[in-house]
Chain A
Amino acid sequence: GNSVTQMEGPVTLSEEAFLTINCTYTATGYPSLFWYVQYPGEGLQLLLKATKADDKGSNKGFEATYRKETTSFHLEKGSVQVSDSAVYFCALGSNAGGTSYGKLTFGQGTILTVHP
Chain B
Amino acid sequence: NAGVTQTPKFQVLKTGQSMTLQCAQDMNHEYMSWYRQDPGMGLRLIHYSVGAGITDQGEVPNGYNVSRSTTEDFPLRLLSAAPSQTSVYFCASSYGAGSSGNTIYFGEGSWLTVV
Whether A103 is near chain B, meaning CB under 8 Å from some CB there, is yes
Interface residues on B, range: 20 to 34
Question: CA separation between A42 and B6, bound complex, in Å?
Answer: 12
Interface-side segment among A11-19, A67-75, A76-84, A94-102: A94-102
With A43-B106, A43-B107 already in contact, the answer to whether A32 and B99 are too (CB < 8 A) is yes
Chain B, interface SS category: mixed
With A44-B43, A109-B42 already in contact, the answer to whether A102 and B107 are too (CB < 8 A) is no
B50 interface neighbour in A41, A44, A100, Cβ under 8 Å: A100
Instruction: Give the one of A31, A100, A102 with max B CB within 10 A.
Output: A102
Residues on the A chain within 8 Å of B42, using CB: 4, 89, 106-109
User: How many residues from A make CB contacts under 8 Å with B?
Assistant: 25
Chain A, interface SS category: loop
> Which residues of A are in contact with B by a Cβ distance under 8 Å?
4, 31-32, 41-46, 49, 51, 89, 92-95, 100-104, 106-109
